[in-house]
Amino acid sequence: MTIQHDVFISYSTANQDIADKIHFTLEKNGLSCWIATKDIPSGRLYIDEIGAGIKSAKMVVLIYSKFSQESKYVKNEIHMAYKYDKPIISFNIDGSEPSEHMGYYLKVMQWLAAYPNPEDYLEKLVRDAREICDEKNDVPVVVDFTNFEKTDFSRHKHDWISLALLCLPVYWASFIYMGITANKKKWVFMGLLYLIPTLVLLILYFQIADYLFIYYPMFILFAVIFVLIWILAIIHGLVIRNEFLTLKAILRFSSMDEELFNYLFEGYINAK
């Protein structure tokens, strides 16, 4: 059975931070909200849950930005909201003008210019949402982020294997491991590239092992190069590890539903 909500929040996950703050503020002021990261149960089909969430909500708050106007998932949500005749408040956070496609659905909807600092316009958003939902509007609006927690997929998933491998001479294996686990071929390719200095050093050692005292300076030079590449790989690995943890957490959350995974991760890709 679908739970009734006052507000369906439509947004690109590139704008996850402000979406979390809007969700937190609306709920703190008595408006129940549907938001994908909290209201799609694990193992459920993305498209079914989105459709049910929009249909059961009294209205839609669209967080409009350069990312949301390019998101096919946001476009689908607004199309469904239009189909179900749901009031839409477009909360414009960066001054982006609606594209031709979005403009068709939003031209008769309510626009709220909320830039350059969207948090300054949350009180106005609450009052407008209350009015649409026929809630009491004489109650003071509370905009207070005490106990607020933003959505961070990476904190929900720890992986010490990738970190341990980076700190060992087989550091290249960390990239291959992260690439295979997160289905990122580019990371696997990086791991293979980082493997080359290790192979060169091993081949060099076994080739000159009996004459190491003669070729000692050459061996030391290659050893120094190896260590420098290792340090570079550690820095590189730590940079991509946060994305890896995010991917791994979302993969677990979405229970391998490809559409749900793309929906949740789309914004992170676009934001880079």
pLDDT attached to residue 135: 77
Contact 71, 267 (CB under 8 A): yes
Find, among 263, 213, 265, the residue nearest to 244 by Cα: 265
pLDDT computed for residue 101 by the predictor: 75
Instruction: Tell me which amino acid residue 110 is.
Output: Q
Q: How many CB atoms lie within 10 A of CB 111?
A: 15
Instruction: Provide the token pair at 199.
Output: 């192979």
Strand-pair category, 5-10 with 88-92: unpaired
Closest CA to 88 of 109, 112, 57, 104: 109
Of 12-16, 21-25, 145-149, 264-268, minimum mean pLDDT range: 264-268
The DSSP letter of residue 103 is: H
Give strand ranges (E) for 81-240. 88-92, 110-113
Express each pLDDT in 119-176 by its tens digit. Answer: 999 999 999 999 999 877 788 999 999 999 887 655 555 788 888 999 988 899 999 9
Looking at residue 268, its pLDDT comes to 54
Q: What is the pLDDT of residues 28-68, one digit of tens each?
A: 999 999 998 888 766 666 778 889 999 999 999 999 999 99
Mean pLDDT, residues 1-9: 84
What is residue 220's predicted lDDT score, i.e. its pLDDT? Answer: 78
- Judged by DSSP in three states, 139 sits in coil
pTM of the model: 0.69
- Report whether pLDDT(255) > 60: no
